[in-house]
Amino acid sequence: MTQDKTQERSSKFLKDLGIYAIGNLGSKIITFAMVPLYTFFVKNTGDFGYYDLCLTVIFLIMPLATLQLRDGAFRFLLETQDQRERSKIITFIYRTLLTSVMVSLVATFLLAMFTSIGYLWYCLLLLLAMSFFEVITQVARGLGNNKDFVAAGIISSIGIGVFSIVLVAFAGLGIKGIFLANILARLVAIMFLELKLHIFATYFKFNIDLGKAGRDILKYSLPLLPGSLCWWLTGSSDRWFINHFVGIDANGIYAVAFRFNGIILTLSTIFYQAWQETAILQYNSQDRDKFFSKMFNTYIGVLAILLTAYTFTLKLFYPVIVDANYQESVNYLYPMGISAVIFALSAFFDMGYQCAKDTPRTLPAIFLAAVVNLVCNLVLVKYIGVYGAIITSIITYLVLFIYRLHDMKRYFKLSLYTSSIIAAVLIPIGAIPFYLVDAWWGLIVYMIAACILSYYSIPKGTREELIGKILQKTGYNKQ
């Protein structure tokens, strides 16, 4: 019975993984294709660097504008099937977002009167579009519409691609075109969700008594707000240090590498989204620790494969897909990938706080990580430039990982398999051939060998089940 239950949970996880993979990979491939387009049509690295700074500020403000309702929406909608409760949750979310729009408009008017910030109104429109998109897609996901959640992401990405080609490549609008493409694409995706699911029409009630629904959501979401601000310091402040100590051009080159690194973050997000739903639903099961350990060890092997296969393949084709002005960014790919892997592993432990609805306990680790990040950036970027920012990220996420690994014992206990240690060791070792080997065949030989070792580090049962699912999907199953 226990074996059947474990297999059932694993099957559901793999099914969700497949759904999220289709959406995230499809959307990220399009976003990936935009990087060469932007580098070829925005020749000035300083312009692209300035756009990247604008984007980091938007990511800073977005948690404030949404009050982290994206997390609260998914968490509370996922565990209720009652229509009236869902109406309370969604009505509260929409009311809060509309209030945020008014506050944002007033704040922007005041800034426009007393400052001369470039692309200020474009930034406001992108902030609002991204905020609504992030929250509404999580509402759709919380209501159980995973396929529509994925479809919205794909539509948004296709929109970014189409609008970017029209506005940047053909209309020659440069940075303005990038802003408009991102704004319009998200608006189209939001319209798709409403036309398909009728979320606002079905669940928004003008006269409904919210009761304690709003208080419960804020109690869950608001503790995540300072954490999000610290995450911004941890993940985005490096641009400001690079801009200050190295220059805006260096920031543009770094921004290109960061966007390529976003592929690894997206692939880890696929796992995170599927795991988030599974972990919350299975948190109270009797064999929780065994099941969570299996998933954690699987994750280590998968991340090792992703890091090796992606960065080495990208190095082989980098001269072809990136304009000469941005070629230097290839040197940043592997260490940035290591940083992304450590971050992904630390995010795995975030499930303990979410499952137990104990979000205030996320704060100490995030505050610690933010302090470490600021101190290291201040010291390292000044003396070793862009590499200082990358080393800072690795140190920061390593501190976060160690802290959460210890703190998670209050929620669940993990066992590290011996085979997983091999994959973990291969992650830093891969930097040696990445920097020292230039021959294409040498890169390919190492990549294949490392991926095979990492694959066999994954628990056998998971390997067999994963391959079985792939064969079934492709029509090669034995039946």
Mean pLDDT by 10 residues, the chain (479 residues): 53 62 60 70 72 82 86 82 88 90 90 84 93 92 86 88 89 87 94 93 84 82 75 71 83 81 77 75 78 86 91 90 82 92 87 78 84 91 91 92 88 84 91 91 92 85 60 44
Same domain, yes or no, for 211 and 274? no
User: Has residue 49 been placed in a domain?
Assistant: no
Burial (0-12, 13-18, 19+ Cβ within 10 Å), 397:
buried
Q: What is the pLDDT of residue 68?
A: 85
Same domain, yes or no, for 236 and 296? yes
Same domain, yes or no, for 275 and 341? yes
Q: What is the pLDDT of residue 299?
A: 87
Same domain, yes or no, for 249 and 111? no
User: Has residue 438 been placed in a domain?
Assistant: yes
Domain hosting 132: range is: 69-221
Q: What is the pLDDT of residue 432?
A: 93
State both tokens at 123.
Answer: 């930034």
The residues, ordered by sequence, that sit 6+ positions from 198 with a Cβ below 8 Å of its Cβ are: none
CA-wise closest residue to 279 among 21, 465, 25, 12: 12
Q: What is the pLDDT of residue 216?
A: 86
State both tokens at 471.
Answer: 């064969």
Q: What is the pLDDT of residue 436?
A: 92
Q: How far lies 92's CA from each of 27, 87, 97, 207, 453, in Å?
A: 30, 8, 9, 11, 50
Q: What is the pLDDT of residue 267?
A: 75
CA atoms within 13 A on the CB side of 97: 23
Q: What is the pLDDT of residue 308?
A: 93
Which of 186, 221, 256 is a domain's end point?
A: 221
Same domain, yes or no, for 118 and 235? no
Same domain, yes or no, for 231 and 208? no
Same domain, yes or no, for 217 and 245? no
User: Has residue 55 been placed in a domain?
Assistant: no
Same domain, yes or no, for 102 and 155? yes
Cβ–Cβ < 8 Å for 128, 101: yes
Cβ–Cβ < 8 Å for 176, 122: yes
Q: What is the pLDDT of residue 336?
A: 92
Cβ–Cβ < 8 Å for 140, 202: no
Cβ–Cβ < 8 Å for 196, 332: no
Q: What is the pLDDT of residue 28?
A: 60
Same domain, yes or no, for 172 and 89? yes
Same domain, yes or no, for 325 and 356? yes
Cβ–Cβ < 8 Å for 55, 120: no
User: Has residue 50 been placed in a domain?
Assistant: no
Number of domains in the chain: 2
Which of 221, 252, 281 is a domain's end point?
A: 221
Which of 221, 238, 267 is a domain's end point?
A: 221
Q: How far lies 345's CA from each of 61, 141, 401, in Å?
A: 26, 23, 7
User: Has residue 36 been placed in a domain?
Assistant: no
CA-wise closest residue to 259 among 28, 447, 45: 28
Cβ–Cβ < 8 Å for 24, 152: no
Burial (0-12, 13-18, 19+ Cβ within 10 Å), 460:
exposed
Sign for the CA dihedral angle at 89, 213, 351, 333 comes to positive
Q: To 5 degrees, how large is the angle CA 460–CA 334–CA 318? A: 110
DSSP state of 410: G
User: Has residue 43 been placed in a domain?
Assistant: no
pTM of this prediction exceeds 0.95: no
User: Has residue 37 been placed in a domain?
Assistant: no
